[in-house]
Amino acid sequence: MKNDLVSIIVPTYKGSDIICKCIDSIIQQSYKNIEVIVVDDNGKDTQEQIATEEKLQKYINILGFQYVAHEKNKNGSAARNTGLKKAIGEYICFFDDDDVYYMDAINAMYEKLKSTSEECALVYCSLASVSNSGQQRVIEARKDGEMLVDYLLRKVFLCSSNVMFKRQVIDEIGGFDESFKRHQDMEVITRVLVKYLAVHENYIGIKKVWLKRNLPTEACIVEAYGQHYIGKMKPYIEKLPQLDQERIYSHFYIDWSKGYLYERNFKKFWYYAMLSTHPIKCTALAVKYVVGQLIH
């Protein structure tokens, strides 16, 4: 482990057309003591892997840049673990290939995190969230300290891209659970927050672009991924007050009900709508959807 070095691990899958913008934002950081590890999860010799490697050739001779390609597609969790095995930094960032850093992001988070006690595991920053339609809003980082309940209730926003971890903590929890195909960042952040505190940095450090290229399109798959997360997190969630448990599960129920509504699977929609803590909100959504269908 190299003191003060920040290792930035970038898993990529079907991202050959956007990866360079991401990497440029990393190497242009004001904080220069970094290494960049791109882990290509497309599978060797696939069209997308070849295209990605070609795009990244211009960075190969940059000090601290590594490109690693999986022999076959695994998943984002496995790609992050591969990068972690290669990384030698004292601090770790896991950055999505469709996001970009603003110039002082790494420096701002590093300065904040290095001065914290052993009880603190990570720092997270504010971000600019950009939707598929191009609408932008700022999600501010505001809270410090014990964050588990607020995180599970989605009152604070931490994702893979706006967080910097202390390396020793990631090693301690064993990295990412490779059984996760989605919600990998939620899973690992949850396990960290069970044991450690967090601090925030109000600097708007990243532009997070919400692209649909790798998202599941079927409601049943979205549900399956969510069920997997809930199943794994149950030991932590069930230690919380009953009302908090219900609210945490309700976020998933609402997401699943929306997916089934758009697929016109009304039986599943009503099932999860009624399980949620906001059945009236879900009903209003259904009415709006039906009226919209009638108009069109």
Average pLDDT per consecutive 10 residues, the chain (296 residues; last block may be shorter)? 94 95 97 97 96 95 93 95 97 96 98 96 96 86 95 94 97 94 92 97 93 76 94 92 92 90 89 83 62 50
Question: For residue 296, what pLDDT is reported?
Answer: 47
**For residue 17, what are the contacts with CB-CB under 8 A and spacing of at least 6?**
none
Question: For residue 217, what pLDDT is reported?
Answer: 78
51 and 197, same domain (yes or no): yes
| Residue 8: strand pairing partners | 36, 93
Q: How many domains does one find in the chain?
A: 2
**Helix, strand, coil in percent for the chain, rounding step 5:** 45, 20, 35
Which domain covers residue 249, as residue numbers? Answer: 219-295
Contact 162, 76 (CB under 8 A): no
Is the sign of the CA dihedral 204, 207, 212, 215 positive or negative?
Answer: negative
Q: Which of 209, 238, 254 is the last residue of a domain?
A: 209
Question: For residue 286, what pLDDT is reported?
Answer: 60
Q: Which of 209, 238, 270 is the last residue of a domain?
A: 209
167 and 229, same domain (yes or no): no
Angle at 78 between CA 74 and CA 83, to 5 degrees: 125
Q: Which of 159, 175, 209 is the last residue of a domain?
A: 209
pTM value is 0.91
70 and 163, same domain (yes or no): yes
Backbone Cα Rg of the chain: 20
135 and 281, same domain (yes or no): no
Query: Which CATH number belongs to the domain containing residue 102 in this structure?
Result: 3.90.550.10
40 and 141, same domain (yes or no): yes
Question: For residue 113, what pLDDT is reported?
Answer: 97
196 and 68, same domain (yes or no): yes
Between CA 102 and CA 109 the distance in angstroms is 12
156 and 92, same domain (yes or no): yes
Contact 14, 98 (CB under 8 A): no
69 and 139, same domain (yes or no): yes
